[in-house]
Structure 1
Amino acid sequence: MDRCQLELRRLQRELEAQQDLLEVYMTGIRSAMSPIHQLPPELLGEIFKYICCGDIGINCIISKSEKQLPTLVISGVCSRWYNVVNSMPVLWSSFGSKALDSPSTLSHLKLFLERSRLHPLDFQIGDPSFGLPEDSLSFLTATENSSRWRHVQITARESFIVDNIFVPLIDTKQYLPVLVSLNLRSSFDEEFSSFPVDCPALQSLSLNGVPLDLKYPRSTITYLNLECLYPDEISRVILHCPNIQVFEVKNVVDRVEVIPPPNISCNALKFKMKYGDNRDGRKLSYCIVVLNARTKP
C-alpha cells in the first residue's frame, strides 16, 4: 500500500509539472497570436521611436526613486522587443538625469551611450545635489561621445557642473560637429566664460545666467535667447551672432555701476523682450540694440 501511495504521488507530481509546462506553452501561443506580434519589425520600430524619441531627455532619471525610462521598459517586455530595441541606436540616443547623485544614474547614462552607438545624442543634465565626483561626467566629454552631441541642455545651480562638462572640451581643443542647440542655465565664474569650441551646425543658443563669450562670429545661430544677463554681456553675445532671426531677451540684470554697452546692429526678424520685475523701462535703455527695418518687435 505504501509503495502504491508513493507511486501515485510521483505520477501526480509529473502530471502537474506537465500541466504547468503546457499552460506556459499555451500562454506563449496566445501571446504570439496577439495583433502586435503580427507587425513587421520596421513598423514596430517606428512605434518605439514615437514613444522613446519625442523630446530631449525623454528617458530621464528624475530622482533616486522616480525614473522615466521608456526604452528600458519596452526592451523588457519580451525577447522580440528586446532584440528590436537593441538593434535601434536611435532609441538610446535621448536621455537625461536630474539626480546625478543616485548610485544607478551614471551606470544608466553609460548604458545609453554604449547602445546609442554612432547616433547623434540629445541629452539634458538637471540640477544635481552636492558631492558629485569631479570626473564623474568625463564619459560625456570623451571625443567619441562629444562629437555626437546634437541637442544639449544643462541646468545647474553651481557652475562647477558646467565646468566639468565644458572645460575638458576646451582643454583638449575638441569641436562639436553636429551640435544644433545648446541651452545653459547656471552661473559661470568670471575666469571661465570663454567658449572657443567650434560648433559649425549650431542654430539655437539659450543662455540663462551664463555670460558666455563666443570668442568669434557664429554665423549659423538663428535663434538666440538670453536671460538674467548684464546689458554689456548681452551685447557681447549679439556681437558674435550676426544672423539672428529670432531674438529674445528676458530679465536684464542691472549693474551697480552702469557699463554702457556698444552699439550693436541686429538683423533679427522677430524681437521679444521681457522686463521682469522692473517695469519703468530703465533696463531697456541700458540694452542698446539697433534694430533694422525688417525687425518686428
Structure 2
Amino acid sequence: MAFESCLLCHSTVFKPRVSVTNSVYEHLRSTNTLPENIISDIPALLSSVQKDLDDYESEIHRFQIRIADIQNRREMLRIHAENLQSLQSPIRRLPNELLTRVFGYLCIENDLTEGCPSAVTLGSVCLRWRQLTIECPELWSNMVIYLYEEDDFDEVVHGRLTCLVNLYLDRSKSHLLGLTFIGGPWCPDGDDGSDNPILQVAQQSFRWKHVSFDADKFSPGNYPIWDSLDLPVLDTLYLTSSYDVHDCSLEMLKNTPILRAFHASGCIVSGIET
C-alpha cells in the first residue's frame, strides 16, 4: 500500500493503485471491438481495484476510530465544563446546617415504595450530601409503608421494602419515628422477623411518635401485633378506613401514656362513631 499527503488536511492517506477515468465508459459506449491488449489487462485491473476497495475500507475504519476518539474527547470536555460550572453553584456555598434543613423539608415523607425514597436520593448526589444525610437521623425517621394484601404480594417488592426499612431504622438511630401505614393487613411471617418489615418496625415501637393507618377496611384486629406494643412516646394516632368498621377495640392505646391527639375516620371506637 502506497501513501500520499491529503491536499485538504495534509494527513497521510493511502495512494490508490487504479485511477478512475472516463475511458471505461467510452469503451462501453463504443461499438468497436476492444483490442486484445486491453482485454488481457482487465483481470489485473480488477485485482488492483479489489485491493483498492479493501484499502478504502481500512481507511474508513481508521478514520471512524479517529472520529470516535475525537467525539469521546469532546464529550469528556463537555462534562468537564459542566463540572466546572457546578463548582460555581450557589447551593455548594450553603452551610451544612442550612442544607440539612432544606433536606428535612424533602424528607417529611419517605415513600419506601417509590423508585428511590427522598433520603436515599439525596445521599446519592455527592459525597458531601451522603455524609450529611447519614449524619442526620431525622431525615430517615419518617416512613410511608404499604402493607400489601396476600393477593398482591410480590417477593421482589417485599425484599426491597425489607432492605429499605432496615436501612431507615438503622440510620434514624434513636430519633423518634413518624410512620404512615397504607394498604391491607397481610404480611408474610418470617421465622425470626428478619424478613418481615412490619415486625422490624414494631420492634422499634418505643420510638413511635406520629402514626397513621390508612386502609380500605381498617381494623386493629387485623394487626394483632399492635396489641402488645410499647408506645411510651406516641403523640398522635390517625386511623382512616374507606368503609365503616365497627370492631375497633384499640388495645394498643392502653400503652400510650402521653397520647395527645387521636383521630378516627370511618371507624367506631368505644361506641362513638367518628
What TM-score, normalized to structure 1? Answer: 0.55
Gaps of 5+ in 2: 4-11, 14-57, 191-195
Distance in 1 of aligned mates of 2:232 and 2:123: 31
Gaps of 5+ in 1: 170-174, 210-226, 235-248, 251-297
Q: Could you tell me whether the CA contact under 8 Å between 2:218 and 2:240 is conserved in 1?
A: no
Match of 1:200 among 257, 262, 265: 257
CA RMSD of aligned residues (A): 3.5
1:1-297 aligned at under 5 Å gives the runs: 17-53=72-108, 58-61=109-112, 69-98=117-146, 100=148, 101=153, 103=157, 104-128=160-184, 132-134=187-189, 136=196, 137-142=198-203, 145-156=204-215, 157=217, 159=219, 162-169=222-229, 175-185=230-240, 187=245, 193-195=250-252, 197-208=254-265, 227-229=267-269, 233-234=271-272, 250=274
CA drift at 1:201 = 2.4
Q: 1:14 to 1:87 in 2, by over 3 A?
A: same
Q: Could you tell me whether the CA contact under 8 Å between 1:150 and 1:181 is conserved in 2?
A: yes
CA drift at 1:162 = 4.8
Partner amino acid, structure 2, of 1:163: Y
- Give CA-to-partner distance per residue, 1:90-123, whole Å, 9 cap, x none: 1111111235345133333332222211111001
Q: Could you tell me whether the CA contact under 8 Å between 1:141 and 1:168 is conserved in 2?
A: no
Distance in 2 of aligned mates of 1:177 and 1:131: 26
- Could you say which structure has the greater relative contact order, defined with CA pairs below 8 angstroms and 6 or more residues apart? 2
What TM-score, normalized to structure 2? Answer: 0.59
SS at match of 1:107: helix
- Paired residues in the alignment total 201
Q: Could you tell me whether the CA contact under 8 Å between 1:140 and 1:146 is conserved in 2?
A: yes
CA drift at 1:189 = 5.5
- Give CA-to-partner distance per residue, 1:185-225, whole Å, 9 cap, x none: 465868x653474323221122446xxxxxxxxxxxxxxxx
Distance in 1 of aligned mates of 2:124 and 2:78: 22
Distance in 2 of aligned mates of 1:178 and 1:32: 44
Identity of aligned residues (%): 26
